Structure 1
Amino acid sequence: MGDAGDIFARIPPVEEVAVADAAELNARMRDARAPFVVRGLVADWPLVRAARRSGREARTYLLQRARDVPFPVAVGDPASGGRMFYDEAMRLNFRSAEAKLPDIFARIDAVEDDAGAPPLYLSSIDVRNFFPGLHEANHVPLGVADYLASIWIGTRTRVAAHNDTPNNLACVAAGRRRFTVFPRDQYANLYLGPVDNTPGGRAVSMVDFHAPDSERFPRFDEALSHARTVELDAGDAIYMPGMWWHHVEGLAPFNILVNYWWRTTPAYLGNPQDALNHAMMSIRDLPEDEKAHWRDLFDFYVFGDAAAAAAHIPADARGVLAPLTSETAGRIRGFLLRQLSR
């Protein structure tokens, strides 16, 4: 077994950069191939200023802007140490509930200083749908047309290492958070769990970073040799390119994160995870010689030179073998839906 303090102490820091304005930030994000940190990026947000006075003031600020609707909230196991994960039977170790935000915050008021209380976590709440006006007063001007702004609110929590398809700019608005990031190619060394039973929609590392088991997860040390880590205060931000793995901890009694997700590819291309899931269903368990053939076909049609694969077909007859448009992507989607519903 390892020790959490030893682990984070020996991981090098995430690169920190300074940006003069939104244009420079957007240029850096566009060109970045690895995560970077910008200290004080959102220090002037009214929400951040309220949080620096106290967690209660930050909650009051949010309550004044919240819609009067039920909010989804995860209630964890008090014995979990804030780790939103699985129990020993591979069931989720937290329950999902709904409540009005004043009631959730009243509970946080009561347990904020109680380290043994069940963790409470509101994850990936759509800012513009649940908090009218909050985005306008507290946002980063992104140089992209379409993005999702989400807010994450909770007590001390630990979220296992996972990745997301979109690019991610995460801004700490209250409390303190630690991010530990890994390159995309470290998936095997992180020992991923199920893809269809996950704490938050993405497969997560089964390694407990606070007590790593070197006998069960011997390659985790190799992952750590590629890792970077950073602790962020209110006002700081980290950018993570899509598919980078990240382990996230809310270190303060009360924490708020606002993040932005976006892709640089057209939305009609769909989610690559859906293709992987379908391939596991239809290809993974085939005989080895058939799998080898399908691997070759994927290389030919998907990973190889797409133009060469269709060069012998008249340009106006290539259909979905031509560069995709929203129309041809829609035809593929409709075809797949019909096939999967048979």
Structure 2
Amino acid sequence: MDAAPDSVRTIHGCRPDALPLPELLAGGEPVLLRGLVHDWSLVGAGRESPRAAIDHLLAHYNGRPLPYSWGPPETAGRPFYNAGYTQLNTEARRGQLDQVLEEIHAHLADARPPTHYVASVPVDSVLPGLRAANDLDFGSHGIEAPPAIWIGNRTTASCHYDAPDNIACCAVGRRRFTLFPPDQIHNLYPGPLEPTPGGQAVSLVDFDAPDFERFPRFRDALAHARSVELEPGDAIYIPSMWWHHVQGLEPFNILVNYWWNSVPAWIPTPMHALHHAIWSIRDRPEREKQAWREVFEYYVFGPAGRAGEHLPGEARGVLAPFDEAAARRMRAWLIARLNR
């Protein structure tokens, strides 16, 4: 797979207590934050050895079981699908973190180890106290963004997008990120909306061995790809809706990430609207679909105030800006109609 290796903008000298969030959000493109978490205690332990990083985690572990994915060596570190895309190729398990870490450590020298993948577990739920020396200061920006931890061997998170903005911090090991702007969805061949390996649809293309006969438009996607490798202590900002393919490059890798939304909490994820639109619009006659496209452009995708600007304020209803009370009314209205 060929992707431009130098196409991600880099900022040096950022500190965890001085995140340039306004600059990142205004740019709207991926940014490598070189050395952002260089001084984290977990990063330091990982530089010493995988054993030291494991011991550092376990010093904070509270004993709670946590979910993880397991696959045989044939999985090759890629949680994905069976041949028919109807089931996943890994098992969803629950277990003790110390057990999972010891199993990873036991196979560090294996060329084809079993896949162990702890994905998106809230740090505070299983590792209380870890944040004291391993955190980013979102609070100073008025943002609630609790971190999640990702632990595994040479695992690959197949190319996908997330609705929130994201800062991913490479704590232990190295990771390669390959990123695509949102408009490349047409060239990335997304898989089923369910089941999915991690909650979002993923590209069906094997980035290590692309089948261009089956997925010819992937060549066009590669022309827009941006690739970068993160060393321990580096971080990357991934804007909302950017596709990203993440490969763990060492026998043991730990990543900590922060998701946050730039809209109030009472505005729900658009994924609900996507599913409803697939159900209610996709299979209508083409003439109707084009008419609904214009309706959505007017009410949704155009300027937020346009549809109600000619109405007096008291007459705008859902065309007025939402607040928490209006969001509750809208939720009740939708539930009442969906339950008919």
Q: Return the TM-score normalized by structure 2.
A: 0.94
Please state whether the residue corresponding to 1:185 is helix, strand or coil: helix
Cα distance, 1:191 vs structure 2: 0.9
Is 1:74–1:95's contact at 8 Å kept on the other side of the alignment? yes
For residue 274 of structure 2, the aligned residue among 269, 273, 276 is: 276
| Structure 1 residues 214 and 221: CA distance shift in structure 2, 3 A | same
**In the aligned structure 1, how far is the partner of 2:13 from the partner of 2:26?**
14
Cα distance, 1:116 vs structure 2: 1.8
Please state whether the residue corresponding to 2:297 is helix, strand or coil: helix
**In the aligned structure 2, how far is the partner of 1:324 from the partner of 1:191?**
35
1:19 aligns with 2:17: no
For residue 291 of structure 2, the aligned residue among 290, 293, 296 is: 293
Query: Kindly, what percent of the aligned residue pairs are identical?
Result: 48
Is 1:71–1:99's contact at 8 Å kept on the other side of the alignment? yes
Question: Who is 1:99 aligned against?
Answer: 95
Question: Who is 1:48 aligned against?
Answer: 43
**Which of 99-108 and 162-171 deviates more?**
99-108
Residue by residue, what CA displacement relative to the aligned partner does 1:33-92 show, whole Å, maximum 9, x if unpaired? 211112211111111111111111111111111121111110023112211111212121
Question: Who is 1:58 aligned against?
Answer: 53
Is 1:178–1:229's contact at 8 Å kept on the other side of the alignment? yes
Question: Who is 1:237 aligned against?
Answer: 235
Question: Who is 2:82 aligned against?
Answer: 87
Please state whether the residue corresponding to 1:147 is helix, strand or coil: coil
**In the aligned structure 2, how far is the partner of 1:262 from the partner of 1:312?**
34
Letter in 2 for 1:15: R
| Structure 1 residues 24 and 168: CA distance shift in structure 2, 3 A | closer
Is 2:19–2:137's contact at 8 Å kept on the other side of the alignment? no
1:32 aligns with 2:30: no
Residue by residue, what CA displacement relative to the aligned partner does 1:133-155 show, whole Å, maximum 9, x if unpaired? 11122011122421131100001
Question: Who is 2:326 aligned against?
Answer: 328
**In the aligned structure 1, how far is the partner of 2:82 from the partner of 2:110?**
22
Question: Who is 2:107 aligned against?
Answer: 111
Residues matched between the structures, number? 336
**In the aligned structure 2, how far is the partner of 1:275 from the partner of 1:221?**
31
Point out where structure 1 has 5 or more consecutive residues left out of the alignment. none
1:252 aligns with 2:247: no
| Structure 1 residues 307 and 30: CA distance shift in structure 2, 3 A | closer
Letter in 2 for 1:230: V
Is 2:5–2:228's contact at 8 Å kept on the other side of the alignment? no
Residue by residue, what CA displacement relative to the aligned partner does 1:126-178 show, whole Å, maximum 9, x if unpaired? 01121111112201112242113110000111111101011111101101110
Question: Who is 1:266 aligned against?
Answer: 264
Is 1:32–1:241's contact at 8 Å kept on the other side of the alignment? no
Cα distance, 1:276 vs structure 2: 0.9
Is 2:75–2:90's contact at 8 Å kept on the other side of the alignment? no
| Structure 1 residues 308 and 145: CA distance shift in structure 2, 3 A | closer
Cα distance, 1:105 vs structure 2: 1.5
Is 2:14–2:33's contact at 8 Å kept on the other side of the alignment? no
**In the aligned structure 1, how far is the partner of 2:38 from the partner of 2:294?**
51
Cα distance, 1:11 vs structure 2: 4.5
Please state whether the residue corresponding to 1:298 is helix, strand or coil: helix
1:120 aligns with 2:116: yes
Residue by residue, what CA displacement relative to the aligned partner does 1:273-308 show, whole Å, maximum 9, x if unpaired? 111111001111112232223222212211234534
Is 1:76–1:120's contact at 8 Å kept on the other side of the alignment? yes
Is 1:300–1:306's contact at 8 Å kept on the other side of the alignment? no
Please state whether the residue corresponding to 2:11 is helix, strand or coil: coil
Letter in 2 for 1:95: E
Cα distance, 1:24 vs structure 2: 5.5
**In the aligned structure 1, how far is the partner of 2:62 from the partner of 2:230?**
29
**In the aligned structure 1, how far is the partner of 2:339 from the partner of 2:281?**
18
| Structure 1 residues 27 and 116: CA distance shift in structure 2, 3 A | same
**Which of 294-303 and 200-209 deviates more?**
294-303
Query: Equivalences for 1:123-134 in 2 at 5 Å?
Result: 123-134=119-130
Query: Equivalences for 1:77-226 in 2 at 5 Å?
Result: 77-90=72-85, 91-142=87-138, 143-226=141-224
| Structure 1 residues 329 and 114: CA distance shift in structure 2, 3 A | same
Please state whether the residue corresponding to 1:82 is helix, strand or coil: coil
Is 2:14–2:36's contact at 8 Å kept on the other side of the alignment? no
Please state whether the residue corresponding to 2:12 is helix, strand or coil: coil
Please state whether the residue corresponding to 1:309 is helix, strand or coil: coil
